[in-house]
Amino acid sequence: MRIKALIAGCTGHRLTSDEKQFFRDAQPWGFIVFARNIDNPDQLRELCNEMRDCVGRGNAPILVDQEGGRVRRMRPPHWRDYYSGEKLGDLYRKDQATGLRAAWLQSRLMAADMIDVGINVNCLPVLDVPVAGAHDVIGDRAYGTDVETIAAMGRAASEGLLAGGVLPVIKHIPGHGRAGADSHKDLPVVDSDLATLERTDFAPFKALNDMPLAMTAHVVYSKLDGDAPATTSSMIINDIIRGFIGFDGLIMSDDLSMHALSGDFSDRTQRAFAAGCDCVLHCNGIMAEVAEIAAHCPELSGKALARTKAADKLLGEIEECDIEALHAEYETMFAALV
């Protein structure tokens, strides 16, 4: 079966006839949903079913950004609210064991919410290390400001997702925390030297280099490659992400429609793959854009195909648990912070 190295979004609560035909023809590896695609559990479940019907794969990855705090697509009244990475980190700073348990619980509960509607990949954990003066696009999404906290909490969150049958995506590799701009709008340039970056920004990703999926940072590290952000830099992907960090899972780009990237969509796509991305992500559902991207996406093969198969094997492996008991434990942990 031919599968394009593409993850794509759609425009609304149901697929249009044009979207269905496009996905049947393009055969993307996966999909991503946003708040615009979500109304209620039954609707979201049907949308996920439609997506998978188009590609004929019952376990096709469907992604969501469900971090907790300000970045969450599944919201009340149909789903419970969850806390930001910073709030989880507050518990860790008071008591490490409690913080780790809370991170695991939150991810395990979110995984149950997702699996119930057909979503099986969460773009979490955020492993970026914020520094003073950086743009707040990361801000309270981070577990803390030190490597040890972020790595420990990121692993607990990842293991909670995996226990619930949902794949984690470590992001934004090799680190967005030092960026002085929001890469949704502008291209951030980080001027720190290699030794500093290895000691801080890169370190949490190195600690979680055994995870199955990672999402790139649209960030230029000027001392390493002054010409291209990580997403389109072969030096960053090969020497830093594959080399120093030692990550051998699937590397997906961050959203190719973000304004940090330059050039048309064919150019962005070709540069991402030439740099070493295994798969590209397009989120906004605009058909003209994603069609241009798909036209320049290769079919999965070689190491990229092997990485998707390794990730696919982890999908749906759910450890049995008492969800209501876990919810009660979770709420008790946070009672003092509310």
CB atoms near residue 216 (< 10 Å):
28
Please report, for residues 114, 116, 192, 291, the alpha-carbon distance to residue 75 in angstroms, rounded to integers and kept in the order given: 12, 14, 38, 30
pLDDT at residue 336, rounded to an integer: 63
Please report, for residues 60, 121, 286, the alpha-carbon distance to residue 244 in angstroms, rounded to integers and kept in the order given: 31, 26, 36
User: Partners of 279 in the beta sheet?
Assistant: 252
What tokens does 41 get? 């559990």
Please report, for residues 188, 198, 293, the alpha-carbon distance to residue 175 in angstroms, rounded to integers and kept in the order given: 11, 10, 25
Catalytic residues: 184, 254
pLDDT at residue 229, rounded to an integer: 96
What tokens does 87 get? 């709030």
Domains of the chain with bracketed CATH: 64-285+314-334 (3.20.20.300)
**Residues of the chain below pLDDT 50:** none
- 109-142 per-position pLDDT tens digit: 999 999 999 999 999 999 999 998 888 889 999 9
DSSP for residue 302: H
User: Partners of 240 in the beta sheet?
Assistant: none
Please report, for residues 23, 25, 35, the alpha-carbon distance to residue 16 in angstroms, rounded to integers and kept in the order given: 11, 14, 17
Question: Is residue 141 within 8 Å of 123, Cβ to Cβ?
Answer: no
Alpha helices by DSSP H, the chain: 17-26, 41-55, 85-94, 96-117, 147-163, 194-199, 203-207, 234-235, 265-275, 287-295, 302-312, 323-334
Pick from 157, 84, 85, 79: nearest CA to 115: 79
User: Partners of 8 in the beta sheet?
Assistant: 31, 282
- All residues at 6 or more sequence positions from 304 whose CB lies less than 8 Å from its CB, including other chains: 5, 250, 278, 279
pLDDT at residue 175, rounded to an integer: 96
Q: How far apart are CA 64 and CA 124, in angstroms?
A: 9
- 186-230 per-position pLDDT tens digit: 888 999 999 999 999 999 999 999 999 999 999 999 999 999 999
Cis amide bond preceding 174, omega within 30: yes
pLDDT at residue 337, rounded to an integer: 60
